[in-house]
Structure 1
């Protein structure tokens, strides 16, 4: 696969398992998406950890919720973007790709990028089930990734993660 050219490249903001050193980064590297820098969301967003220790980015559900979320920028060709959409299950309703503004770390430069958000059909329910504002994090860390279950370790089936999200949403949150 060719590296993205400046004319056709789409900047993609990743915030979880696709970051350098994290479990799914080799897949991102296989799509030949060059690293463009570390970045942080320009506006607060909600980042929560769902089933299998999978991170989910959500639009901040309330005016007081959300944090600036740390991640990385990559340049993706149209074919790499299609591969990422497949990886992120956009066709299954797991994630949806949305435009987001990020700030390149160490600068004041704002960049428009695409990011994978939890699908709107369940995003607010996931936020509530995870614990709302109390569960929001600013960064998916190696500690989170240490509990990550890769697709090979999950329930079988094409919609395994989506089935796990539905089951997670159907259960009561743990008592504190």
Structure 2
């Protein structure tokens, strides 16, 4: 029971969702599904090289007129041990992603929940946004069509 009390709510929006390529890692950790959710505020989600999804930590360059999208995903209660494994998968130690707090709304309950999410590291997020096509490349949901070309790095 102590592990459940120490669980961290994690919002996943890409390859960790149910049915997607990296979900088996999350499933094997025993992390319970807490519900479908979406970001409470608009954000930028792009599909980068190798069909890897990146939620960006910054809204977008000031010159952009895009309002972003409410990003669809899933919420999980993740144990401290599973969080270490997710950090490794997401390349925290390599500076690929960084884990940051986001506010999400759980579907059906319409309640706001503070959760952690893996965002593109701030050191290259704007350059990634531009490389992917800027506003035109922003999406609201990472789908199976995107995942069909996914390659792990």
User: Structure 1-normalised TM-score?
Assistant: 0.80
Show the counterpart of 2:53: 55
State how far apart, in whole Å, the 1-side matches of 2:20 and 2:129 are.
23
Show the counterpart of 1:140: 142
Show the counterpart of 1:118: 120
Q: Give the number of aligned pairs.
A: 149
Show the counterpart of 1:166: none
Structure 2: gaps of 5 or more residues: none
Give, in angstroms, the shift of residue 66 of structure 1.
1.5
Give, in angstroms, the shift of residue 65 of structure 1.
3.5
State how far apart, in whole Å, the 1-side matches of 2:3 and 2:73 are.
20
3-state DSSP of counterpart to 2:101: strand
Give, in angstroms, the shift of residue 3 of structure 1.
9.4
Runs of 4+ with >6 A deviation = none
Structure 1: gaps of 5 or more residues: 152-160, 162-176
Contact 1:3 1:33 (C-alpha < 8 Å) held by counterparts? no
Q: Which structure has the greater CA radius of gyration?
A: 1
Show the counterpart of 1:86: 88
Give, in angstroms, the shift of residue 107 of structure 1.
2.8
| Residues 35/4 of structure 1: CA separation in 2 closer, same or farther (3 Å cut) | farther
State how far apart, in whole Å, the 1-side matches of 2:69 and 2:121 are.
19
1:129 counterpart (131, 136, 139): 131
Show the counterpart of 1:11: 9
3-state DSSP of counterpart to 1:45: coil
For CA contacts below 8 A with separation 6 or more, give which structure has more relative contact order: 2
Moved more, 62-71 or 75-84: 62-71
| Residues 70/33 of structure 1: CA separation in 2 closer, same or farther (3 Å cut) | same
2:41 counterpart (40, 43, 46): 43
User: Once superposed, what is the RMSD of the aligned Cα atoms?
Assistant: 1.6
